[in-house]
Amino acid sequence: MSSSFDRSIVETQILPVLIQVDDDRRRHFALKASTNVITTTPPQPPPAPFKPPPPPPLPRPLQQQQQQQQQQQQQQRQQQQQRQQQIQYQQQSLQMQESEVEEIFTSLTARLQQQPLARATAAAAAAGSSSSSSSTTGKPSSSVSAASHAPVNSTVSPQKPQQQQQQQQQQQQQQQQQQQQEQQLQQQQQQQQQQQEQQQQQQQQQQQQQQQLQQQQQQLDLSVCCVASVICLVIC
């Protein structure tokens, strides 16, 4: 037992108390002997062995919170994957629409380039018909030339610029939706970071609790060793 406790503590703190208790006991017996009073003390049972209290179990709410947070993180990951797939699908659809718009634009430019040639050929044909009609009937050639020029100008359809504007508006709306989805993804990532920080804080708290329990157990072990050493000294 000499190796399990500090001898200096026993000599400086415990032995003086034991000596004082022994002196008090002798004085008490001397006073009783002087008064000729015989008293007997019943035998006392031996003290029960000291049992350290069991360590408290880990709190269940913390485990449940960790499980819930893990489930929430899995759900959020699944939602992120679904949203990324949606964004990819929307990007593909935008690319398809852009290619369609480019094809329409190229076809319109080709038609606009072909219109001056058609007008020139129509004007030449109108000039030939007007010369032939003027030789026969005078001024009705002006009405024929006007009639020949009118349908050429009417071939330009006013609906195609409107379609382009609508497609541009749709593209702008889709881009805005993409920006909103990216903002939502950023917010979700921030929430995940906050949850991870909370988990780290909880883990640190658990580690601190475990350290406190270990310190309490060490203190109990020291107290048990001190009590055992005192009992051994008294018995000796």
The reported pTM is: 0.27
Q: Where are the domains of the chain?
A: 68-127+160-236
Q: Which residue has the tokens 């035998």?
A: 43
> Can you tell me the distance from the alpha carbon of 169 to that of 164, in angstroms, rounded to the nearest whole number?
9
**For the CA atoms of 43, 48, 49, 55, what is the dihedral angle to 10 degrees?**
-160
First to last CA, the chain: 13
Please state the rounded mean pLDDT for residues 157-172: 78
Averaged pLDDT of the chain: 75
Say whether pLDDT at 150 is over 50: no
Helix (H) or strand (E) holding 33: helix 15-34
pLDDT tens-place string over residues 88-146: 888 787 778 777 777 887 777 777 777 666 666 777 677 666 555 544 444 444 444 44
d(CA 151, CA 157) in angstroms, rounded, equals: 12
Average pLDDT value for residue range 189-203: 87
How would residue 40 be classed by pLDDT, with cut points 50, 70 and 90? Answer: low
pLDDT at 38: 53
Give yes or no for a contact between 80 and 185, defined as CB atoms under 8 angstroms apart.
yes
- pLDDT value at position 16? 85
Question: Which pLDDT band, with edges at 50, 70 and 90, does 236 fall under?
Answer: low
3-state secondary structure of 53: coil
pLDDT at 105: 76
Residue 1 has pLDDT above 60, yes or no: no
Query: Is residue 41 within 8 Å of residue 29, measured between CB atoms?
Result: no
The answer to whether residue 58 scores a pLDDT higher than 70 is: no
User: pLDDT tier at 55 (50, 70, 90 boundaries)?
Assistant: low
